[in-house]
Structure 1
Amino acid sequence: MQENLHYPQRHHYSASSNHRSPATIPSMPNSVKPWFVPPNHVAIRMLCHVSRVGGLIGKAGSIIRHLHHQTSAKIRVEHLPNSVIYPPAEVQRVILIIGSTSNSRKLTLHASENNAEEFEVSAVQEAVVRVFERVLEVAADSDGAAAEVAVEVEGIVSCRLLVERGQVGSLIGKGGKTIEMLKKESGCRIKVLNMEKLPACAMANDEMVEV
């Protein structure tokens, strides 16, 4: 992919909750003012097909505001550069979620209609789950066009995240031990995708992680 289709290479933010000073999330050209990541907060970048974005935002931003009030996390659909022109089926947008890692709360997840389990999560974890649930709802109501959040078989869905390349090693762990542990504990398939072309909304040094 051409270099000018990526984010500018401004990598001043961190996904670590241990950094001591506020950091800046890089923004696309012509986008709104960048957000800051305060201490004990993290930034998650989730991919969402452009056809799902309107259903996530809601009329006059009503749904995304509700998600913000529900989780206390900042949630924003990032802009694409004006120069990017792709067929609608190929366009992905980044859902930027910034939330606290320290606010503990209870979250009930339903593995099936009759099987629910309660988990203790942070504010940012709850926000990621709530946003993903909403995208799934929109996808279920759509016409089934290609999307990054897609139903592969009944009950199985996939979510793709953009992760800075320097952080991927921590996800994988020495000899792949960390990612294997996460797979075992979560029951999910987790992999770093070996893709020659990242979506236009990615930064030049991003990797794509699929859960």
Structure 2
Amino acid sequence: MAYSRHDNNGVGVEDTVYRYLCPVRKAGSIIGKGGEIAKQIRFETKANMRINEALTGCDERVVVIYSTSEETNRIEDDVDFVCPAFDALFKVHDMIVAEEVENGDGYYDDDDEYSEKQIVTVRMLVPSDQIGCLIGKGGHVIQNLRNETNAQIRVINENLPLCALALSHDELLQIIGDPSAVREALFQVASLLYDNPSRFQNYFVSSLSSMHQSGGLLMTPALTRSHKNYPAPRDVADAREFSICFICPAENVGGVIGKGGCFIKQIRQESGATIKVNTPETDEDDDSIIFISSKEFFEDQSPTVNAALRLQTRCSERVGKDSSDSAISTCVLVPNSQVGCLIGKGGALISEMRSVTKANIRIYQNEDVPSIAREDEEMVQITGSLNAAAKALTQVMLRLRANVFNMDRGLVLLPTFFPYISQTTETSSKPKHRKGENHPHGSMDIARNEDYGSQRNLNAPRRNRVY
């Protein structure tokens, strides 16, 4: 299949990652009772496998399969060796297709009246920096794959499933045909992806510091050696402080804190983030700042992002003709030195976020920013349905987070799950953008301290535009 790549110690230089989409109704065929089937796949292949939770409104679950690229396994009677992830990919595929064929979930080819071949479909998520190896110059690679396998192979970059928002630049690979044709096409596709790894594929895999993580069922083999896939000591200097600031309507603060502080304490404990509620001393009807922060490694899931998503609806106001409308408006303060990573050249990035999330995203500056903001801050306002607003906030936060870590091209690594968003939002219909004099801040929890704004550039020039 693919050429072997080893360093002097015999350890694979690159990791291999596949993201296979499993229909929700067939997930049991690869999980099994108590996870027994998934454990068996892990044991037989020595690959890692995580089965992400189903998202509301999405009928597919992402199966993340990954391992070293060292070629140690054989598939059936094939004389060539493959890496563990390649082996596990086909075990997962064969189990899902076997159930599909057995239950008659596929469909039959109506174009051939003499054909009784059942037609199956395979779908995979592929990052855009890796998809080119499947298409080729002028599309010659993908056309050759179609001719050689007799399978329908398409690359889809519009109307992607909700789970594709795990990465803003994901594209969808779809293979349709009879089971043997699809399997052959998948073999060739997997080989090409193996030979042309994504620059960022290691970041598709969350930290393996625990065996189970929110958002997915994590299956890992015994830790027998040190490698990029396995936990290893990390340089504390690589950790960065990442924070986000909500503007919260005064009447919503109680919902953020909860009775006796129960809700905010729960979010702190479950997310691992620091959360501070900062209220003005001069006017109890003024908005407050909800400051969320954590010290984290880029490759890990972000405690700040997790906590912010869970607090979003409680920090937002309802918009619409009446309070029964489900649309919300979320306002976030961002240092003006970081706003560029949200706008992009000629507004390309903010336009992309609007298109992908279907939310209205605007950036306010200068006199349009509420007086509660600091001099070096601008305001990002996100308006849309609960679902669209959550996606947009995630896009915004992870672009900011990538910027904090100085990641190339502002990589947006979105979490592989979205937390449950209650349909009963504790939001306000009060209009925002009130003008007023700057005033000191008090606190209902922990006073706004010097950490807030420590990364802000107070002398940064301000732009006179609204995006």
Q: Counterpart amino acid of 1:79? A: E
Q: Counterpart amino acid of 1:129? A: F
Structure 1 residues 172, 151: closer, same or farther in 2, change over 3 A?
same
Task: Choose which of 133, 144, 154 in structure 2 pairs with 1:181.
Answer: 144
Name the structure 1 match of 2:40: 66
* Contact 2:15–2:66, Cα closer than 8 Å, also in 1: yes
Deviation of 1:165 (Å): 1.8
* Contact 1:56–1:138, Cα closer than 8 Å, also in 2: no
With the length of structure 1 as denominator, give the TM-score of the two structures: 0.63
Task: Choose which of 80, 92, 96 in structure 1 pairs with 2:64.
Answer: 96
Q: Counterpart amino acid of 2:127? A: E
Deviation of 1:160 (Å): 0.5
Identity %: 29
Task: Choose which of 80, 92, 95 in structure 2 pairs with 1:131.
Answer: 92
Name the structure 2 match of 1:160: 123
* Contact 2:48–2:85, Cα closer than 8 Å, also in 1: no
Deviations 1:64-89 (A, max 9, x none): 11111111111121134xxx532xxx
What is the DSSP-based 3-state SS (H/G/I as helix, E as strand, rest coil) of the residue aligned with 1:162? strand
Structure 2 unpaired stretches of 5+: 110-116, 176-467
Deviation of 1:152 (Å): 4.6
* Contact 2:125–2:173, Cα closer than 8 Å, also in 1: yes
Name the structure 2 match of 1:6: none
Alignment root-mean-square deviation, CA? 2.7
Counterpart CA distance in 1 for 2:35 and 2:172 is: 28
Task: Choose which of 98, 118, 129 in structure 1 pairs with 2:78.
Answer: 118
Q: Counterpart amino acid of 1:128? A: L
Deviation of 1:202 (Å): 1.0
Q: Counterpart amino acid of 1:126? A: D
* Contact 1:104–1:120, Cα closer than 8 Å, also in 2: no
Counterparts of 1:47-86 in structure 2, within 5 Å, are 47-80=21-54, 84-86=55-57
With the length of structure 2 as denominator, give the TM-score of the two structures: 0.31
* Contact 1:57–1:64, Cα closer than 8 Å, also in 2: yes
Higher relative contact order (CA 8 A, sep 6+): 1
Q: Counterpart amino acid of 1:101? A: S
Name the structure 2 match of 1:200: 162
Structure 1 residues 71, 151: closer, same or farther in 2, change over 3 A?
farther
Q: Counterpart amino acid of 1:199? A: P
Q: Counterpart amino acid of 1:58? A: G
* Contact 1:43–1:96, Cα closer than 8 Å, also in 2: yes
Structure 1 residues 121, 193: closer, same or farther in 2, change over 3 A?
farther
Q: Counterpart amino acid of 1:125? A: F
What is the DSSP-based 3-state SS (H/G/I as helix, E as strand, rest coil) of the residue aligned with 2:88? helix
Is the radius of gyration larger for structure 1 or structure 2? Answer: 2
Counterpart CA distance in 2 for 1:158 and 1:52 is: 13
Query: Matched residue pairs, number?
Result: 157
What is the DSSP-based 3-state SS (H/G/I as helix, E as strand, rest coil) of the residue aligned with 1:201? helix
1:105 aligns with 2:73: yes
Structure 1 residues 143, 158: closer, same or farther in 2, change over 3 A?
closer
Deviation of 1:187 (Å): 4.5
Structure 1 unpaired stretches of 5+: 1-16, 21-37, 109-116, 145-149
Q: Which has the higher strand share?
A: 1
Structure 1 residues 102, 135: closer, same or farther in 2, change over 3 A?
same
What is the DSSP-based 3-state SS (H/G/I as helix, E as strand, rest coil) of the residue aligned with 1:64? helix
